[in-house]
Chain A
Amino acid sequence: MTHLHLAVALDGTGWHPAAWREPDARPAEILTARYWADLVLEAERGLLDFVTVEDALGLQTSAFHRPDDRTDHVRGRLDAVLLTAALAPLTSHIGLVPTTNVTHTEPFHLAIGIASLDHASLGRAGWRPQITSRAADAAHFGRRTTPQLTDADVLDSELIAARLRGLFAEAHEVVEAVRRLWDSWEDDAEIRDTATGRYLDAAKVHHVDFAGAHFSVRGPSITPRPPQGQPVVAVLAHASTPYELAAAGADVVFLTPQSRPDSVARLDAFARARQHSARPAADPVRTFADLVVFLDDAPGRAAERKQRLDERDGGAFGSDALVFTGTPAELADLLLDWRTTGLDGFRLRPGALPHDLTAITRGLVPELQRRGAFRTAYEADTLRALLRLPRPANRYAPAG
């Protein structure tokens, strides 16, 4: 059996809203390169496949669908593409996957930003396209409005997805346009032929002429094809509409099962979405389950710690993903059990940083290694290769 894949999701000082007040937290440093470098170097020492970095085009909020005026939670963050680019020269193997919105940002800018991250990291870039579901974010751009979700909507992920169906359809177009732009230069377009004076072969640089319901892009990209050909596209999906987006456009999907049977059910639902998508069934998609994790070696300690954090915050922390508390060994049991439902890997969201990240790299990883379930050295240099995803052929290159 192949090794499982492990990623961590980085955001602020961790996913618990009171994590920033822990003694080992570094909340005043979340806008510095040093802080993020320390985290990603720790993740790389743990041989993890990749890190994701969250982002949004509005200030953080504790309500899913609208801004709030809270002052007692982490607020303020950096652009995730630029942040991961700054991490690229400091690391050598770990994948770097920024989140970007796809609702307000121009697809052309997204394509060249992620391609440039792939060039700077020598093939370790991923991309998590995310729709901007908050209507208030649209007012930051003033170009359009987007649906305002109600308090009733946000209780049910199918209701949310139904209200945002149009934005997901547009997101699908953005991913398609971006992928075409990545292919718009063939790999060997730069020829430097001194005899004819040609720097490139114009026949190998293509207009993409993407025309969708929402926008059009002529192309070609200004950035030559990135090292991976196509950086790894990862989509977080909770419901039918996002499953369709992931099925049609993603290389990696993050699912949020609440239990082992739920993992079976979600993988099933995703497999159905794949059957209905126009994409060839042979295109591999890696399935990851998201878990928020609180880890301590002593049994019961992690749950106590979470409870202490909850009390400090004045409310029990819950999440779209399962919140796990326990020892690294207990988590290893769960991961290996869930894996048998067909998952390829897990994206762990540390409850508090750096504590739960180092518990992953120094507790969970050795435990999985002991059980023969995780790598003991990086076996590849690009993110695609680490995930055993093939380098895609260029859609514009003549076959053969």
Chain B
Amino acid sequence: MPARPLKQIHLAAQLPSVQHTVIWSDPSAGSQIAFDSFAHLARTAERGRFDFFFLSEGLRLREHKGRVLDLDVAGRPEALTVLAALSAVTDRIGLAATVNSTFNEPYEVARRLATLDHLSGGRAAWNVVTSWDAFTGENFRRGGFLAEADRYTRAAEFLHTARELWDSWRPGDFRADAAAGEFVRPGAGRFAHRGRHFDIAGRFSTPPGPQGHPVVFQAGDSPEGREFAAADADVIFSRHADLASGQAAYRDVKARLAKYGRSPADLKIIPSVSYVLGDTPAEAAERAEEVARAQVSPQTALMLLEAAWGRDLSGYDPDGPLPDVDPVPENVVTKGHNLYRSRGREETVRHWRKTAEERGLSIRELIVEVTARPTFVGTPRQVADAMNAFVQSDAADGFVFSPNVVPGGLDELVDRVVPLLQEMGVHRAEYTGSTLRDHLGLKPARRHFEETP
């Protein structure tokens, strides 16, 4: 039987922000807010012929013990505005913005995304996130108005409505025909949507961009999130980057596609990862350890411990054993962090105690252990091989690289690993298309008026 042709690896990059994993203390660390930092990362990713450059979003600064959390990088620009500026200094790379569906309205988000698609010549993507918490809601007119159970019903209707708005201009509606004296066809942009979350009608101001519909991402891991992605998204941003859980999530999600009339190739699964290189395996391992220690300062270790315990633990030695006091599960000392959402705090504390006891870890060592994110560590050759094995064994379709340091943290990957992937024939040497849909190998957007003539 002929071997399956090699899968191409989809590569993307993210400017890391608002996580303790960003090493702001590194001597080479630059500004997390200056436009130059964004431009450097996006251009480096474009030099590596990546599919897209991605920005996350958080609409409230984290707080710890009643004060703004001061240990991690905080402060970031509004994603769509920066990406619009980046469209002027890049040519081909996709530009993906995280935009929350709870604290926004479809008319506005649809026109901003259509605008980015025009400005970039068809490179826009939207990562639909559904954070609904009342803490974030305090920054908005409607406050925390949404129940958790409704986060994806609103997101799905939001996305559906945005697509109706993009489709309110049909091909050829924007004419600009001076001789005929017709700028638009009659009725261009007319829409009416009546649903549970949105009841809106009128004229949409912005014709759709080159992609018709920007590429849609979903980031979130609940069953509802996976279902939303299977029904409606082009890319899933996942957290699963160890082989077994990656393969399981991949199988689960791709199996959900058929009932929506979609094939496995219609949805790309791309986990968020990092990397550490060395000239030898030993050197890489040593650097990885330094990176981990730089990410988890003694203060960060205690802060994350306090978040789990729900109480002040500032008297404990971060290099000593875990506290013997009990957690106060109902006491929330950290807001805006969802580190413990999936497991619950009591269960988290039990699990941490057990891990620390079994392995004799100090507080700081434990936190390094339990907060480590998926990271490829090795020589450039080892990292290229590991990435390739991961993709060829269907644990993912590619990776979003979130470097440890801004803005130079992607340079080594692009200079030393990408050429190896290109030699292996699993990553493009040149862009073959001009839109993000082209890079991802996605079909043209299904347009509303084609589905419902």
**Within 8 Å of chain B (Cβ to Cβ): is A332?**
no
Q: Mark A60-90, 1 if CB is under 8 A from B, else 0.
A: 1000000101011111111101110111111
- The answer to whether A90 and B176 touch across the interface, beta carbons within 8 angstroms, is no
Also in contact, A200 and B104, with CB within 8 A (given A71-B185, A112-B78): no
Identify the closest chain A residue to B99 (Cβ): A109
**Closest residue to B303 on the A side, CB-wise?**
A197
Question: A77's closest neighbor in chain B, by CB?
Answer: B205
Cα of A89 to Cα of B120 in the assembled complex, Å: 14
In the bound complex, do residue B107 and residue A57 qualify as a contact, i.e. CB atoms below 8 Å apart? Answer: yes
Q: Is the CB of B25 within 8 A of A192?
A: yes
Q: Are A196 and B299 in contact (CB under 8 A)?
A: yes
**Cβ-defined partner of B74 (8 Å) among A82, A122, A137, A199:** A199
In contact, A223 and B199 (Cβ under 8 angstroms): no
B112 CB within 8 Å of chain A: yes
Per-residue contact bits, chain B 93-136, to A (CB 8 Å; 1 contact, 0 not): 00000000001110110011011101111000000000000000
Q: Is A283 an interface residue (CB 8 A)?
A: no
Is A140 located at the chain interface by the 8 A CB criterion?
yes
For residue B209, which residues in chain A have a CB less than 8 angstroms away from its CB? 31
Partner-contacting stretch, out of A156-164, A214-222, A298-306, A347-355? A214-222
Interface flag for B76 (CB, 8 Å) = yes
A217 to B73, CA, bound (A): 23
Closest to B34 in A: A119
B189–A185 CB distance below 8 A: no
- Cα distance, A39 to B59, chains bound together (Å): 34
Task: Tell me whether B141 and A215 are in contact (CB under 8 A).
Answer: yes
Residue of B nearest to A76 (CB): B207
Contact B24 A199 (CB under 8 A): yes
A58 near B85 with CB under 8 A, answer: no
> Which residues, 225 to 277 on A, are CB-close (under 8 Å) to B?
none
A316 at interface, CB cutoff 8 A: no
Residue B39 at the chain A interface, CB threshold 8 Å: yes
Task: Give the size of the chain B interface in residues (CB under 8 angstroms).
Answer: 76
Which chain B residues border A142 with CB–CB below 8 Å? 198-200
Which of chain A's residues 180-213 have a Cβ closer than 8 Å to chain B? 185, 189-190, 192, 194, 196-202, 205
Closest to A21 in B: B178
Q: Is A136 located at the chain interface by the 8 A CB criterion?
A: yes
Residue of A nearest to B72 (CB): A199
A116 at the interface (CB under 8 A from B): yes
Shortest A318–chain B CB gap in Å is: 21
How many cross-chain pairs have Cβ atoms below 8 Å apart between A and B? 223
- In the complex, B183 has a CB within 8 A of chain A: yes
Which stretch in A100-108, A378-386, A392-400 binds the other chain?
A100-108
Judge whether A85 and B68 touch: CB under 8 Å.
no
Contact partners of A218 in chain B: CB under 8 A: 60, 138-139
Contacts A83-B115, A89-B88; is A140 near B81 (CB within 8 Å)?
no
Are the C-beta atoms of B81 and A116 separated by less than 8 Å? yes
Contact A79–B115 (Cβ < 8 Å) = yes
- Which residues in window 135-151 of A have CB below 8 A to B? 136-137, 139-143
Nearest-neighbour CB distance to chain B for A81, whole angstroms, equals 6
B237 within 8 Å of A (CB atoms)? no
Q: Are B118 and A59 in contact (CB under 8 A)?
A: no
Contact between B87 and A59 (Cβ–Cβ < 8 Å)?
no
B70 at the A interface (CB under 8 A): yes
Residues of B within 8 Å of A387, CB to CB, are: none
- Least distance between A168 CB and chain B CB atoms (Å): 18
Report A327 CB to chain B, min CB distance, Å: 27
CB pair B75–A200 under 8 Å, yes or no, is: yes
Q: How far is the CA of A87 from the CA of B111 in the complex (A)?
A: 18
A326: chain B residues at CB < 8 Å are none
Q: Which residues of B contact A21 (CB under 8 A)?
A: 178, 181
Say what secondary structure dominates the interface of chain B: loop
Q: Which of A90, A137, A190, A197 contacts B299 (CB 8 A)?
A: A197
Q: Which residues of A contact B72 (CB under 8 A)?
A: 199
Which of these, A113, A202, A214, contacts B78 with CB under 8 Å? A113
Q: Which residues of A contact B188 (CB under 8 A)?
A: 59, 71, 75-76
B202 to chain A, nearest CB (A): 5
Does A71 lie within 8 Å of B112, measured CB to CB?
no
| Cross-chain contact of B89 among A75, A89, A202 (Cβ < 8 A) | A89
Question: Is A33 part of the binding interface, using a Cβ–Cβ cutoff of 8 Å?
Answer: yes
A46 close to B (CB within 8 Å): no
A224 beta carbon closer than 8 Å to chain B: yes
Residues of B within 8 A of A25 (CB): 178
* B103 with A88: CB separation less than 8 A: no
Q: Are A223 and B75 in contact (CB-based, < 8 A)?
A: yes
B35 part of interface (Cβ distance < 8 Å): yes
* Contact across chains for B81 and A117 when beta carbons are under 8 A apart: yes
Determine if A321 is an interface residue (Cβ-Cβ < 8 Å).
Answer: no
Which residues of chain B come closer than 8 Å to A109, judged between CB atoms? 78, 104
- B 32-69 to A, binary, CB cutoff 8 A, 1 in contact else 0: 01110001000000000000000000111100000111
Is the CB of A335 closer than 8 A to any CB of chain B? no
B204 part of interface (Cβ distance < 8 Å): yes
The smallest beta-carbon distance between A65 and chain B, in angstroms, is 14
Given contacts A116-B77, A196-B299, A197-B300, contact A82 B116 (CB under 8 A): yes
Known A21-B181, A119-B77, A199-B71; contact A78-B118, beta-carbon cutoff 8 A: yes
Partner of B85, one of A89, A214, A219: A89
Instruction: Assess whether A20 is interfacial by the CB under 8 Å rule.
Output: yes
Q: Is B298 an interface residue (CB 8 A)?
A: yes
Asked if A85 and B81 sit within 8 Å, CB to CB, the answer is yes
A207 to chain B, nearest CB (A): 9
How far apart are the CA atoms of A143 and B108 in the complex, in Å? 13
Q: Is the CB of B140 within 8 A of A108?
A: yes
The one of A78, A112, A189 that contacts B77, using a Cβ cutoff of 8 Å: A112
Question: B78, B105, B120: which contacts A143 (Cβ < 8 A)?
Answer: B105
A222 vs B131: C-alpha distance when bound (angstroms):
16
Residue of A nearest to B137 (CB): A218
Q: Are A86 and B88 in contact (CB under 8 A)?
A: yes
Residue in A closest to B71 when the chains form the complex, CB atoms: A197
Contacts of B367 in A (CB 8 A): none
B156 within 8 A of A: no
In the complex, A174 Cα to B81 Cα: how many Å?
A: 20
Q: Which of A73, A116, A223 has the most CB of B within 10 A?
A: A116
> B299 to chain A: which residues have CB within 8 Å?
196-198
A28 and B176 in contact, given A75-B183, A197-B299, A205-B61 (Cβ under 8 angstroms): yes
Q: List 9 A-B contacts (CB under 8 A).
A: A72-B182, A77-B206, A85-B85, A89-B88, A108-B140, A109-B78, A115-B78, A136-B202, A222-B59
20 other contacts beyond A20-B183, A79-B206, with CB at 8 A cut-off? Answer: A21-B181, A31-B118, A31-B174, A31-B209, A57-B111, A58-B202, A59-B205, A79-B111, A82-B81, A85-B81, A85-B84, A86-B85, A105-B108, A119-B35, A142-B198, A197-B71, A201-B70, A214-B141, A219-B139, A222-B58
Interface residues, chain A, CB within 8 Å of chain B?
Answer: 20-21, 25, 27-28, 30-33, 37, 56-60, 67, 69, 71-79, 81-83, 85-90, 104-109, 112-113, 115-117, 119-120, 122, 136-137, 139-143, 185, 189-190, 192, 194, 196-202, 205, 214-220, 222-224
- A-B CB proximity, top 9 nearest: A197-B299, A116-B77, A218-B138, A82-B84, A116-B81, A59-B203, A27-B176, A85-B84, A120-B85
